[in-house]
Structure 1
Amino acid sequence: MRIVCIGAGPAGLYFAISAKMRDAGHDITVIERDPPGATYGWGVVYWENLLDTLYRNDRESAERIRAASTLWQEQVVAMRGRDKAYLGGYGYSVNRAPLLEILAERAAQLGVDVRYEHAADDLSEFADADLIVVADGANSRTRQRYAGEFGTQVDHGRNPYIWLGTDRVFDMFTFDFEETPEGWIWFHAYPSSAGISTFIVECQDTTWRRLGLDQMGPEDTVGLLERIFAGQLRGGSLISQSRGKPAAWQRFTQVYNQTWLHENMVLIGDAAHTTHFTIGSGTRLAMLDAIVLAQYLFDHGDTTAALKEFDEEGHAQLRLAQTAARTSMAWFENLDRYADRGAVDFTFAMAGRHSVQPPWRYQQHLINQNLLVRKGKRLAGVGQRWLRARRRGESWR
């Protein structure tokens, strides 16, 4: 089958890898508008369940992704930099640039033709393709040209946010909520590579404007945020430049499509659907899309039937994730409703923002604030990681 993937992000590259591994006879080309290594943002987070899936699907790239990743343990939530509460669990983070480099190299190794600085402005160029996989992100130009056919709906969240880096290394997934005279502003941060952490700042629109952030350039923006979060940065600095381009304030793009199919085109990843960054599922869902689509194409002799099943099943399974993401985004957009609470109660409300919590869960949350309990859970996490790594056949580290 002649397949063209538009977009060399995690969705497009991992689909090419997954399809080639299932049928080396596929002629697959991945085209990307930007040059190699051009990417926005810093690190992305994922959990053991994705790592298990990646090892089952393609051990070669999974091992490299795990080696490039950083472990974080526990989550700490600070109110005004002093009052703190804790949530359990652990996860991994990996910088986008090395992740894309790993996937591009693996795709090329399998015989995929990856072409950079190649715009997909005229789809007639791919008239000989049996399938066009549209994986060029939330602002997909290809999808926009066929918005009526896909039934595309694009909305934007109310809160401005900016994706920065910092040379202060966080070993926990850290939330910090600071109250200024102009309103609440907060960040969440996590380690993403050696010596660097991802640092995402968010606030309500009224706070953003009152602070003057809507009028500031990159240098002044970084300076003001460093002063607001000086306590948590502990002498560290914020980094705006990512691949030579300063970070810019954004509002989250919500993408929904009634169908992911049109003629011989199929949408995957953020081009098909987005989930708010506060639930940390964007990259995971993109890579799962890639695996599932490749498997359906392999299982079905009929491409049309494979794409139809991918569309129907994908929409059904995504419903819960998108509902949780919308709820999470709305919670942070109305954060001032909860900010009068102490850190323990505030953290419980934040952790339960996706669903109604039973009464016993609050008692469990209180117990988890005990230092000895937290140390015990960390130790249990070590055992869990060892067991999962052993099942995958992964070398322990």
Structure 2
Amino acid sequence: MCVKVVCVGGGPAGLYLSILLKLRDPSHDIAVHERDPEGATYGWGVTYWRELLDKLHEHDPESARAIDESSVRWNEGVAHVRDLTTRRPGDEGRGIGRHRLLEILATRARSLGVRLEFEHRIPPDNLPDADLVVACDGVHSALRGRHADHFGTEIGIGRNPYLWLGTSKVFDAFTFAFAETEHGWIWCYGYGYGPGAGTCVVECAPETWVGLGLDTADEADGPALLEKLFAGILDGHPLVGRSGAEGGARWQTFRTLTNRTWHRDNLVLLGDAAHTTHYSIGAGTTLALQDAIALAGALHEHPALPQALTRYEQERRQALLPLQSAARHSAQWYESLPRYIDLPPQQMFALLGQRHSPLLPHMPPRLYYRIDRAAGRLEVLRRLKSRLGPKVARTLQARASRK
């Protein structure tokens, strides 16, 4: 059965949903409406992990290959605290320019017959005639806002201001830097996303932000001060905001958005219009693409729209629960930085990697570190036992206990 679907918002979620729906049935009438000109977007690079790439290959190998080929990779993390540096191996992460990701998805969508209409705003009080309207117009969604009471929209405002900047510095690892000032700590994390291109996200407590004068600094003085503070990782490369046409670099506080329900009649929320998770877990784009996969699957499995939208919402809500918890605790870890910053570098970096834990805020950091290390050693012994057999594993465990 041919259906007409209109996606309002030309970000990764809407574009990828249009691709999946066309792959399911080329006869579907699919259009994506984006209010901005083609190629205009905010931000620099986005991160994702191997698990997402495997999922993309499963659903559309062609766009997955293009995304993989345009990404940079890392498998280490490095933390700079004052004059100390600690490096740790980690999972293989990837970065890709947001412009490049949208270009890949738009090209793929067009090749499948999706209509892309840029510089076309959909009035929230006059929805297009379609079987399904998908609100993928971001955290400030006008379509969701028109029916905010129905959706039960709630927005929590974070404490710390943050700034998203670009740089020509090419990071060889996912890089954290913590700088101490007379007004408190300020920190950033940086990663590469293309040839000669990297992203730096800077964050600090409100009192540090005001004390350093970043709240009143203009678009030249602010980045210049940050370049001095993080000179150790930038190696002389500049920090830059978005171009004037894109509105410049602005300090923000993170908005955690939730909704009581994600659909109303034939209108459904997707990506940041439905939910947000703190940027410090680097999952925003991944979750948007996973939403698109789930919605396309539900629409295919349930011909009746109400059942399909209910199934989509149930599946994604369940999948989001652990990530939303991890995001809350990650944000709280940074907001409680003085609790961890004076630990020995190896311990501090280890707890940075454990910042998603709900137990960490309720335990002395050094005790948590020791317990976590002990649990890790027990896990190694468990794996040895399964691989080598119980007799060899008991011998190794006995030797370890005598040391």
TM, length-normalised to structure 2: 0.87
Secondary structure of the 2:290 match is helix
Q: Structure 1 pair 272/122, CA: closer, same or farther in 2 (3 Å)?
A: closer
Matched, 1:294 2:296: yes
SS at structure 2 position matched to 1:46: strand
Q: Is the 8 A contact 1:75 1:87 kept in 2?
A: yes
Matched, 1:276 2:289: no
Work out the CA distance in 2 between the residues paired with 1:257 and 1:300.
23
Q: Is the 8 A contact 1:169 1:191 kept in 2?
A: yes
Residues 211/326 of structure 1: CA separation in 2 closer, same or farther (3 Å cut):
same
Aligned equivalents of 2:53, 2:162: Cα separation in 1: 28
CA contact (8 A) 2:44 2:98 kept: yes
Q: SS where residue 213 of structure 2 aligns?
A: coil
> Tell me, what secondary structure is at the counterpart of 1:217?
coil
AA aligned opposite 1:293: L
Q: CA deviation at 1:360?
A: 5.9
Q: 1:301 offset after TM fit, Å?
A: 1.7
Q: 1:336 aligns with which of 331, 335, 338?
A: 338
User: Is 1:6 aligned to 2:17, yes or no?
Assistant: no
Per-residue Cα deviation, 1:47-76 (whole angstroms, up to 9, x for no partner): 111000101100111111111101112001
Map of 1:141 onto structure 2: 142
Partner of 1:157: 158
| 2:178 corresponds to 1:177 | yes
How many angstroms does 1:129 deviate by?
0.8
Q: Give me the CA root mean square deviation.
A: 1.7
Q: Which amino acid aligns with 1:19?
A: L
Show the counterpart of 2:42. Answer: 40
How far residue 87 of structure 1 moved from its aligned partner, in angstroms, is 4.3
**1:221 to 2:226 alignment:** no
The 3-state SS of whatever aligns with 1:8 is coil
| Count of aligned positions | 365
Please give the alpha-carbon distance, in whole angstroms, between the structure 2 residues aligned to 1:186 and 1:259.
36
User: How far did 1:304 drift?
Assistant: 1.2
Larger radius of gyration: 2
Find the counterpart in structure 1 of residue 235 from structure 2: 234
Rounded Cα–Cα distance in structure 1 between residues aligned with 2:130 and 2:280: 37
The Cα shift of 1:361 comes to 3.6
Change (3 A) 1:202 1:132: same
- For the 8 Å contact 1:164–1:198, the answer to whether it is kept is yes
The alpha carbon displacement at 1:237 in A equals: 1.2
- The AA in structure 1 aligned to 2:253 is R
* Cα distance in 1 between the residues matched to 2:22 and 2:200: 36
2:205 corresponds to: 204
Give the corresponding residue for 1:383. none
234-243 vs 250-259, which moves further: 234-243
**Corresponding residue of 1:124:** 126
**Higher relative contact order (CA closer than 8 Å, sequence separation 6+):** 1
Do the aligned residues in 2 keep the contact of 1:72 with 1:172 (CA within 8 Å)? yes
1:362 maps to a residue whose letter is R
1:55 equivalent in alignment to 2:62: no
Identity between Structure 1 and Structure 2 (%): 46
Q: Which runs of 5+ in 2 are unaligned?
A: 360-367, 378-403
Q: CA deviation at 1:359?
A: 4.5
Query: Does 2:259 match 1:248?
Result: no
Mapped to 2, the partners of 1:240 and 1:317 lie a distance apart of 34
Q: Is the 8 A contact 1:178 1:186 kept in 2?
A: yes
Which of the residues 103, 108, 111 maps onto 1:109?
111
* Superimposed CA distance per residue, residues 288-307 of structure 1 (whole angstroms, 9 cap, x where no aligned partner): 10011001101112111111
Distance 2:65 2:244 in 1: 25
Q: Which moved more, 1:77-86 or 1:21-30?
A: 77-86
Q: Is the 8 A contact 1:42 1:242 kept in 2?
A: no
| Partner SS, residue 124 of structure 1 | coil
Aligned equivalents of 2:331, 2:347: Cα separation in 1: 19
Give yes or no for contact 1:81–1:176 (8 Å, CA) kept in 2.
no
Contact 2:294 2:315 in 1 (8 A): no
SS in 2 for 1:241: coil
SS in 2 for 1:207: helix
Alignment-derived partner of residue 314 in structure 1: 316
2:124 and 2:146 in contact (8 A); partners too: no
CA distance in 1, matches of 2:105, 2:125: 25
Distance 1:364 1:42, change over 3 A: farther
CA distance in 1, matches of 2:142, 2:344: 45
C-alpha displacement of 1:122 = 4.1
Name segments (4+ residues, structure 1) moved above 3 Å: 242-245, 356-361, 363-366
Partner letter of residue 373 of structure 2?
Y
Structure 2: how far apart are the matches of 1:120 and 1:156? 27
Change (3 A) 1:93 1:243: farther
Asked if 1 retains the 8 angstrom alpha-carbon contact of 2:43 and 2:164, the reply is: yes
**Equivalent residue letter for 1:166:** T
Distance 2:99 2:209 in 1: 29
In 2, are the aligned partners of 1:41 and 1:242 still within 8 Å (CA)?
no
C-alpha separation in 2, matches of 1:63 and 1:54: 9
For 2:59 and 2:352, the matched residues in 1 are separated by 34
Answer yes or no: is 1:362 the counterpart of 2:373.
yes
Distance change >3 Å, CA 22–CA 49, structure 1 → 2: same
Deviation of 1:85 (Å): 4.3
Give the alignment's TM-score, normalised by structure 1.
0.89
1:111–1:244 distance in 2 versus 1, CA, 3 Å: same
Q: Does the residue aligned with 2:220 lie in a helix, a strand or coil?
A: helix
Cα displacement (A) at 1:268: 0.8
